[in-house]
Amino acid sequence: MSDDDLPLDTSRDQYHFIDGALAYAGYHHHHHPAPVHTHSFVEIAFVATGTGVHQSRAGRQELQVGDVMLLRPGVWHGYDSCHSLELYNCCFGTELLRHELAWTREDPLLGYLLWTGPYSAQGHGMLRTHLDPEALRECEAHLEALDVLWHESVSQHRGDIVGRLSLIFGHLGRAVARTHGPLPGPAGPVHPAVGRAMRMLESRLAYAWTLTELAELLHLAPGYLVRLFKDATGVPPMAYLARLRAERAATLLLHSDEPITVIGQTVGWSDQNYFARRFRAHYGLSATRYRAQFAARSSRLRPYRRSGNTRAEPQAG
């Protein structure tokens, strides 16, 4: 597959998801080191063959067949010491999670996989697990189907795309439950107030939220809300908000020319020093260094048509 066929801009150290593409899956060969890069979409990388080393804020981690890395937007990573390393990459935007896949946050396994596990204090925006050979084969079949669906009309195949993703998530959720031990959260359905709180925080990211006001809007006592939220997600509501803000700030650093002070205000951190501390805590880099390393050049998207869909292809700025 050539880079021209990808719904991604892979021309530099930042990757965009092309506007209009719902999800992408493709096979990638890494016979040489892949430099550290970042992206503004969710990526799940499946190790299909070979070995290598995954580099990220978590350090250098040896890879073997069956390993899977899920990375939230803004997370930086790369590959080194590659020996016939072949990956199946699955990519999709956070808007898909918040709309067609919003139900996943209410599911204990999938909520941890996609929403709360990567946001945990130890996760730094990443979650790693391992699939047994049979589960890996089944996931590869769904990934191959997604690869084929990329060439089809999204309007006519949206259900197929979401269905294939859901089947992949099912395998990954069960694998995470096995490899991570007991997961935080209730054994049954998540309390509805937790999902409502998450949606409220996401919809008004720049608002000066306080725990007291959030609890009042949900008609709950603050302490009870914290307990419900932490039981379901592993973190209190305000810690979850901080991770959302850091993720959005990373996207703005990659794809806008706004001053860092303005970006801080846009995501709800008007105090520049506090913004600096929170961003470094999440990504291990200052906002200035993050932008310099990953967004030294800008890019823009221009529309084109494929199979009746208006999409976009990258154009260097």
Q: Are residues 282 and 261 in the same domain?
A: yes
Tens of pLDDT, residues 139-148: 999 999 999 9
Q: Are residues 31 and 118 in the same domain?
A: yes
Give, as one character, the DSSP assignment of residue 2.
-
Q: Are residues 71 and 165 in the same domain?
A: yes
pLDDT value of residue 188: 63
Q: Which two tokens stand for residue 48?
A: 């299909």
Reported pTM = 0.83
Residue 311 and residue 305 in contact, taking contact as beta carbons nearer than 8 Å: yes
Q: What is the mean pLDDT of residues 27-41?
A: 86
φ and ψ of 50, to 5 deg: 80, -170
Structural domain of 259: 192-233+235-294
Reduce the secondary structure of 157-199 to three states and give it as a string.
HHHHHHHHHHHHHHHHHHHHHHHCCCCCCCCCCCCHHHHHHHH
CATH number, domain of 275, equals 1.10.10.60
Q: Are residues 134 and 259 in the same domain?
A: no
Residue 184 located in a structural domain = no
Q: What is the mean pLDDT of residues 73-100?
A: 91
Strands 34-39 and 14-15: parallel
Tens of pLDDT, residues 185-212: 655 677 889 989 999 999 999 999 999 9
- How many structural domains are present in the chain? 2
Q: Are residues 66 and 93 in the same domain?
A: yes
CATH number, domain of 60, equals 2.60.120.280
Residue 185 located in a structural domain = no
Q: Are residues 105 and 134 in the same domain?
A: yes
Considering only residues 21 and 269, tell me which one the structure prediction assigns the higher pLDDT: 269
pLDDT value of residue 181: 75
Question: What percentage of the chain reaches a pLDDT higher than 90?
Answer: 55
pLDDT value of residue 120: 72
Q: What is the mean pLDDT of residues 21-41?
A: 85
